Structure 1
């Protein structure tokens, strides 16, 4: 019999479960605190619960605790890339990054990805499965336990398309931002999408205070279709209209991600075209010199051309930053995370 996934359950659901078990509601609050605040990985750690209750929970429930399959630490900037072993044998990757404003963690939302973006390693082996809300949350908790530091910012920008796993994503966002749960401010959470238009509109209806980041990467449909298969389903005009709706519903400024690929989308005419799309919008543009992966021919734009591209956008009042690359020596930068299939593959690549 499949065990109950407690880490993916919100407090009212646990109270209902405990009622069915003949337990008082306050016991559910104690369990919830052990899971989300004290980061317990075993029921025996929950010493204010009775021995009988802990035994029954162990028999019928699980906590989604991860085993660290591998940990790499960048010699350049201290960034850490974690490989976590899932219960079904899949291995996913997450990244710990230290900034002046605190600790940021980039988590995966799926084991693999089916979106097929040409510059991204996460999609190379396709999609194995969605991650549960508990598995998304456990990436943060496992890193906090290992690093001994409190995570303040979360980006759902690792392997997978978060809005392709929308129900689990929404549940995760409730859990990670609950003041009695993960306690991370929604304003410190960013969710990235390649542009699933109906799902963007549905997420807007949740009225979260998170930042939504659209992977745009091209200023016109013809070029975007060569880079991102999703562009064959939704035009840039449709996608930006959905993003405008997100801003209208939430009041949260949109972020547009633009990976600069040498000789492909980084020319002055591309910058001018992008300016025409975004001028006057309440938005922010992240320029990302593409991070090379061995299976693709894309190469990063040179620094002088990145600066020229940035200045062209800024001339029209568009807010622009150049994404700082962290963990480049351990392949933990944007677009470089992968789904692993077995532990040996992780160790082999790490060596």
Structure 2
């Protein structure tokens, strides 16, 4: 059975190529075709001999996902992709356009086991982890499809990255490798719902990569209601791990806080959040929720504008740096999981 060449690190490929009698510089050539020229067929790699191309074709595939759907915002060019993987499963990726950079939001799993109440991905269930090659392929495929150079990558798409730790770390190193995408570690962010031991491990393994923690509530009582994994990893454990991560890396931690109307948008919530983060030098992303179906007794509705501003004012008062996230792609299915879920629903109909 042929293997996905994108699943191999540069060093692993040197070993694989050596088995075929191919020198190290042939790996450089192949990676240049893939990462720089966006060529995914060995037959088109013209600086390799016919014999070498045939040998590689017999042993490897270059698995780039198939584009099933693409939505482009008429407001800000935000682009949502639905990809079909080799086994027929689907994942999403997003391109975000800023004045000075293009950011890719990529997935690390098919579905998600975290099952956060406000997330369409979690509501569709967990299927499997992505391989490092399937993670990296999203970046390459988006660059080719939209003819852009991606400058930043955020692991904030489908899935919980720290529950697919080894493949995520491997994919980061592949994107960072000077022979590949050559992306600075500091331009890569990993978002997690909070797996304490992995947060600390990430600080040791990838100290330059940025960390974002999806907190969404300042107390265990409220967080238990919207983030099921909080029953395993408490708010206190997550904050302790974040502080240890900061001690190791000297990096500032970003906390994502989805604001849900009359659930976690009260002054008391803001006061408790400020107290929780006091002295950390943390940064808080305030995110008015993208409405999803009501879960239990909690109506997943966007707060009133004045409630969002009131929450921000409390954090400002306590010198907690924060920002209300500017929405992108509001005219398309930009929220994570929406496009995939719609595709699944269509197949069932």
Question: What is the TM-score when the length of structure 1 is the normalising length?
Answer: 0.94
User: Contact 2:203–2:245 (CA<8 Å) still a contact in 1?
Assistant: yes
* RMSD (Å) for aligned C-alpha atoms: 1.8
Q: Distance in 1 between matches of 2:345 and 2:44?
A: 31
The equivalent of 2:258 in structure 1 is: 259
Q: Which residue of 1 aligns with 2:83?
A: 84
Q: Which sections of structure 1, spanning at least 5 residues, go unmatched?
A: none
Q: Are residues 1:345 and 2:346 paired?
A: yes
Q: Offset of 1:345 from its aligned partner?
A: 3.1
What does residue 310 of structure 2 align with? 308
Secondary structure of the residue aligned to 1:330 is coil
Q: Alpha carbons of 1:222 and 1:294: their partners in 2 closer, same or farther (altered >3 Å)?
A: closer
Equivalent position of 2:164 in the other structure: 165
| Residue 340 (structure 1) shift | 5.3
Taking the aligned partners of 2:344 and 2:222, their CA distance within structure 1 comes to 38
Structure-2 separation of matches of 1:294 and 1:270: 23
Deviation at 1:66, TM superposition (A): 1.7
Unaligned stretches of 5+ in structure 2? Answer: none
Check the 8 A contact 1:78/1:97 in 2, yes or no: yes
Rounded Cα–Cα distance in structure 1 between residues aligned with 2:342 and 2:23: 42
What is the correspondence of 1:302-341 to structure 2 with a 5 Å cutoff? 302-333=304-335, 335-337=336-338, 339=340
SS of match in other structure, 1:329: coil
Deviating above 4 A after TM superposition, structure 1's stretches of 4 or more consecutive aligned residues are: 335-344
Once the 2 structures are TM-superposed, how far is the Cα of residue 44 of structure 1 from its aligned partner?
A: 1.4
Q: Describe the SS at the equivalent of 2:18.
A: helix
Q: CA separation of 1:170/1:203 partners in 2, compared to 1, >3 Å: closer, same or farther?
A: same
Q: Distance in 2 between matches of 1:73 and 1:207?
A: 33
CA distance in 1, matches of 2:53, 2:139: 24
State the alpha-carbon separation in 1 of the partners of residues 221 and 17 from structure 2.
Answer: 55
Question: How has the CA–CA distance of structure 1 residues 343 and 236 changed in structure 2, closer, same or farther, with 3 Å as cutoff?
Answer: closer
> Aligned with 1:137: secondary structure?
helix
Bigger relative contact order (CA 8 A; separation at least 6): 1
Equivalent residue number for residue 150 of structure 1 = 149
The answer to whether the 8 Å contact 2:333/2:339 transfers is: no
Q: How does 1:1-351 map to 2 (within 5 A)?
A: 1=1, 3-294=2-293, 296=295, 297-333=299-335, 335-337=336-338, 339=340, 345=346
TM-score of the superposed pair, with normalisation by structure 2: 0.95
Deviation at 1:291, TM superposition (A): 0.8
**Aligned residues of 1:90 and 1:341 also touching (Cα < 8 A):** no
Query: How many residue pairs end up in the alignment?
Result: 346
208-217 vs 3-12, which deviates more? 3-12
Q: Residues 265-299 of structure 1: CA distance to partner in whole angstroms, max 9, x if unpaired?
A: 00000000101001111210000001112465300
